[in-house]
Structure 1
Amino acid sequence: MNFLKNIVHIDAEFITLGQFLKHANLISSGGMAKWFLSEYVVYVDNEKEDRRGRKLYPGAMVEIPGEGTFFIQSTKSDTKEDDHDISESEA
């Protein structure tokens, strides 16, 4: 299987799932988020998610079968919160 791993950089504390879909070029406008989530299976940290307002923090993993696996990373250099470690997904 071909698994694409993509890093999505954000400069805020979090990004919503709807904003992420647009930022990752999976939809062309924020208004398409509800439709996308009704047509595609989306997993956030290995749990199925269909709420476009779901907050994604740095360290979160978004998997969309057929589209790829995406990791949320902060563009800020502040690394105080190590709670969101993605090293387990590197297996």
Structure 2
Amino acid sequence: MTENRIVYISHAPVELYKVLKFENLVSSGGEAKHMIADGLVRVNGRVETRKRKKILPGDVIEIYDMCLEIQMDTN
């Protein structure tokens, strides 16, 4: 079963590996970079291997059985 989560960012763009790290889906930035390089992360339905891929509001990141929807924090 896929878990959906909304992730609020305070500025855009943000690098893909940082989103994974800040959401505690990995224990370090290095681990995030390895997972991305190994093709284990999808952005907007496509496998993404660029560690520094710029993530914007509206993007959807899939990792494990999680789906992260990126939204801008308006507060």
Larger Rg: 1
Q: Percent identity over the alignment?
A: 33
Give the number of the structure with larger relative contact order, counting CA–CA contacts within 8 Å between residues 6 or more apart: 2
TM-score by structure 1 length?
0.72
Counting only pairs closer than 5 Å after superposition, residues 13-52 of structure 1 correspond to structure 2 as: 13-39=12-38, 41-52=40-51
1:40 CA displacement = 5.3
Q: Find 2:66's aligned residue among 46, 68, 71.
A: 68
Give distance in 2, aligned partners of 1:42 and 1:36: 7
1:39 CA displacement = 4.2
Q: Mind listing any 5+ residue stretches in structure 2 that lack a counterpart?
A: none
Give distance in 2, aligned partners of 1:46 and 1:40: 12
Deviation >4 Å, runs of 4+: none
Greater share of residues in strand? 2
TM-score by structure 2 length?
0.86
Give distance in 2, aligned partners of 1:18 and 1:5: 19
1:63 CA displacement = 1.1
- How many residue pairs were aligned? 75
